[in-house]
Amino acid sequence: MTDSLLELRDALRRFAAERDWDQFHSPRNLAAALSVEAAELLEPFQWLTDEQSRDLSPEARAAVEQELADVLLYLVRLADKLDVDLASAARAKIARNAVKYPVEKARGSSRKYDEI
């Protein structure tokens, strides 16, 4: 059983190789594309209240699901091009965040770590 991040990385490698797309997949292009997809994911939420955003219609949710997928695909591809192990990087970041946001100080607050 392969880890899904590795499986996606390999599927995207094949996808790009078959289409001769590696030439376009410079880190800077992929970072721009990722940023564009993240904004497309934000777009359906921009006029919603917090409550409305928690209760999407099935159609809105299906559209958002595709945008979530797009972000993940560019993220996996960019990490691969930079030779970054995404899962390890994310685990390390959670550990770092746990130090920056100690439970006692951060509880119930949305302030940044340098303001708590």
In whole angstroms, give the CA distance from residue 67 to residue 88.
24
Q: Tell me the one-letter amino acid at 98.
A: A
CB of 86 to a second copy, least distance (A): 6
Using CB under 8 A as the binding criterion, the count of chain residues that bind a second copy stands at 77
Within the chain, how many helices (H) and strands (E) appear? Answer: 6, 0
Q: How far apart are CB 114 and a second copy at their closest, in Å?
A: 13
Q: 107 or 114: whose CB is closer to a second copy? A: 107
Contact positions with a second copy (CB under 8 A) in 9-28: 11-12, 15, 18-21, 23-24, 26-28
Site for a second copy in 49-88 (CB under 8 A): 49-54, 56, 61, 64-66, 68-73, 75-76, 78-79, 81-82, 84, 86-87
Element (H, E) at 35: helix 27-42
Neighbours of 42 (CB within 10 A): 10
